[in-house]
Amino acid sequence: MSFTLLINIKKLLQVRDSNVQYVSGKDMGIIPSINNAYLLLENSFIKEFGEMENCPKKLDNFKVIDCNGQMVLPSWCDSHTHIVYSGNRSKEFIDRIKGLSYTEIANNGGGILNSVEILRNTSKKDLLEQSLERVHNVIKQGTGAIEIKSGYGLNIDSEKKMLEVISEINKSTEIIVKSTFLGAHAFPKEFSKNKHQYVDLIINNMLPEFHKLQLINYVDVFCEKGYFDLSQSEKIISKAQELGIQTKIHVNQFNSIGGIKLAVKYNALSVDHLEVLNDKDLEILKNSSTMPVALPTCSYFLGINYTPARKIIDSGLPLAIASDYNPGSSPSGNMNFVVSTACIKMKMTTEEAINAATINGAYSMGISDKAGSITIGKIANLIITDKLNSIDEIPYSFGCDKISKVILAGAIV
């Protein structure tokens, strides 16, 4: 048994009961906290917390961390990433600076298919090495839980290679990992003339096999003009449902084509992107348990619309934010910058952005029973900040992570 006691915490943020799975609307504006607090960890878990005056006596086997002037909050839960990829797409970045759009680059054979070509020619070992380096970086930046998608293989062998790398990351690190199968990320070149055959391959071969091998927690589809249309998306989602796998879906990035209605019909866990969102879409989300997820750094990097966060939250809905870390539209997984961008560009308050990046992020990846808040029994994945006067200094200091230490599963990283 090992105990770690954090004392003199200036503010212990995001203290919640275990029955809170996510927060919506006005409640997103509140971060329940304790001033001048202690937090006791037992092995990997949160054991108890409270005001310093009730702090338990330090015993010999306690490791003590004095947080004088520092705040403590749960680690970021990044519920949408493509962090497993090979190489990069910096050339396309320059093409975009010179005036081409993301869609034009994709139509010229670049984009996702460019990353597919590179990944297919990368060994599993090399892919793991490149991806782990990024994972270790985001851990240092305070991410304690991460969802990782496949989707740069687009054939059985290479999708499997990606999923095995995700599983390896899960085994070899302390970060919480959820794996999502995104075989429907784009149509691979070899199926460009018979797209329905690729959908059949996903439904009849990939999905059942990867499910049987226990490589996937969720299924995703890029439901968008030029990618997977409504009927192709529905075939995949309904097959997933048949296998008992919930969906997290890329929708409404460039066009609103009915993907939200479809997602809610199948009780999707999350609908992600939503840069283009109409009132009908919003109404559909209201009577659902599907979490809207915004990806502000994708909008930042591509120079496209930001998800209308104010409209979503002010209509009483919940909202999560995630990094979308990927080589094409968001080559950064820094959740501190995601939180800043959510405040600066989407007009979210600090409290809303922290809720969106912790408890609501946890819900969007199906782990709000074990992460996303300071709650007895949850995994001790924590951020100890620098000395701060106010939590607003977290988003305010954009580009500078106000992090002094990171704790994963009860241990300092």
Residues that bind Fe ion (CB under 5 A): 324
Question: Quick one: 49 or 85, whose CB is closer to Fe ion?
Answer: 85
CB-nearer residue toward ligand NIG: 80 or 235: 80
Residues binding ligand NIG: number (CB under 6 A): 13
3-state secondary structure of 232: helix
CA distances from 48 to 74, 313, 375, 377 (A): 14, 32, 8, 9
Quick check: 142 binds ligand NIG (CB under 6 A)?
A: no
Please, what is the angle between helix 350-357 and helix 335-346, to 10°?
140
What residue has token string 């999923």?
163
**318 touches ligand NIG (CB under 6 A):** no
Find the shortest distance in angstroms from Cβ 185 to Fe ion. Answer: 8
Give yes or no for a contact between 65 and 382, defined as CB atoms under 8 angstroms apart: no
Which is nearer to Fe ion, 168 or 324 (by Cβ)? 324
Residue 115 contacts ligand NIG per CB under 6 A:
yes
Whose Cβ is closer to ligand NIG: residue 139's or residue 293's? 293
Stretch that binds ligand NIG, among 31-39, 322-330, 377-385, 395-403 (CB under 6 A): 322-330
- Residue from 143, 252, 290, 329 touching ligand NIG (CB under 6 A): that is 329
Closer residue to ligand NIG in complex, CB, 131/326: 326
Question: Which residue in the set 159, 324, 351, 401 belongs to the binding site for ligand NIG (CB under 6 A)?
Answer: 324
258 sits near ligand NIG (criterion: CB under 6 A): no
Q: H or E stretch including 112?
A: helix 112-120
Vertex 314: Cα angle to 271 and 335 (nearest 5): 55
Q: Which residues contact 105 (CB under 8 A, 6 or more apart)?
A: 92, 95, 96, 111
- 166 binds ligand NIG, rule: CB under 6 A: no
Site of tokens 């990320």: 185
Q: Choose the one of ligand NIG, Fe ion, none that binds residue 253, judging by a C-beta under 5 to 8 angstroms depending on kind.
A: ligand NIG
Cβ pair 233, 249 in contact under 8 A: yes
Long-range contacts: 302-306, Cβ < 8 Å, 24+? 302/96, 302/102, 302/329, 303/96, 304/102, 304/253, 304/254, 304/275, 305/275, 305/276, 306/275, 306/345, 306/346
Rounded to a whole number of angstroms, the minimum distance from the CB of residue 361 to Fe ion is: 14
Instruction: Retrieve residue 364's tokens.
Output: 């969007």
CA-atom Rg of the chain in angstroms: 21
Closest distance of CB 263 from ligand NIG, Å: 15
CB of 341 to ligand NIG, least distance (A): 15
The residue range among 34-42, 108-116, 123-131, 389-397 that interacts with ligand NIG, by the rule CB under 6 A, is 108-116
Burial of 101 (0-12, 13-18, 19+ CB in 10 A): middle
Toward ligand NIG, which CB reaches closer, 23 or 298? 298
Closest residue to Fe ion, based on beta-carbon distance: 324
CB distance 277 to 252 below 8 Å = yes
Nearer to Fe ion, 39 or 257 (CB): 257
Q: Which does 328 bind (CB under 5 to 8 A by kind): ligand NIG, Fe ion, none?
A: ligand NIG
Q: Which residue among 223, 298, 335, 354 contacts ligand NIG (CB under 6 A)?
A: 298
Q: Which stretch binds ligand NIG (CB under 6 A): 45-53, 324-332, 374-382, 397-405?
A: 324-332
Residues 6+ apart with CB under 8 A from 152: 82, 84, 85, 86, 112, 115, 116, 118, 119, 158, 162, 185
Q: How far is the CB of 181 from Fe ion (least distance, A)?
A: 13
DSSP string, 137-175: HHHHTTEEEEEEE--S--SHHHHHHHHHHHHHHHHHSSS
Kindly tell me which residue out of 130, 326, 360, 375 binds ligand NIG, with binding defined by CB under 6 A.
326
- CB burial readout 368-378, b (16+ within 10 A) else e: bebbbbbbeeb
CB-closest chain residue to ligand NIG:
328
Name residues contacting ligand NIG, limited to 212-251 (CB under 6 A). 222, 250
Please identify which residue in 327, 331, 333, 361 interacts with ligand NIG, judged by CB under 6 A: 327
Where does this chain bind ligand NIG (CB under 6 A)?
A: 82, 111-112, 115, 222, 250, 253, 298, 324, 326-329
